Amino acid sequence: MHNRIALLRTDRGVSRKALAEAVAVNPQTIGYLERGDYSPSCELALKLAEYFRVPVEALFSLRPFPPIAEALRRPAGD
């Protein structure tokens, strides 16, 4: 499973410890999630999405997310 936890966490200036406390898990769990070494329970995935105020599918995916730079590129001629 792929995720954007690290991206959102660093963008918002939140430490692993603070995020872990907010969703009631061990800070190591956040590290495992970020590295893709652990897949979250449905409950944890929903808690994380709620914390970041994003839809769960914006945070987790079964396929790799496209690079942010790719999403920001404009089609030629714009």
Task: Name the band, by pLDDT with cuts 50, 70 and 90, for residue 72.
Answer: confident
- In this prediction the pTM is 0.83
**pLDDT tens track for 58-67:** 999 999 988 8
For 57, residues 6+ apart whose C-beta sits below 8 A from its C-beta are none
b/e map 45-58, b = 16+ CB within 10 Å: bebbbebbeeebee
Question: Can you list the domains of the chain with their CATH numbers?
Answer: 2-60 (1.10.260.40)
**Could you tell me the two tokens for 71?**
């999403």
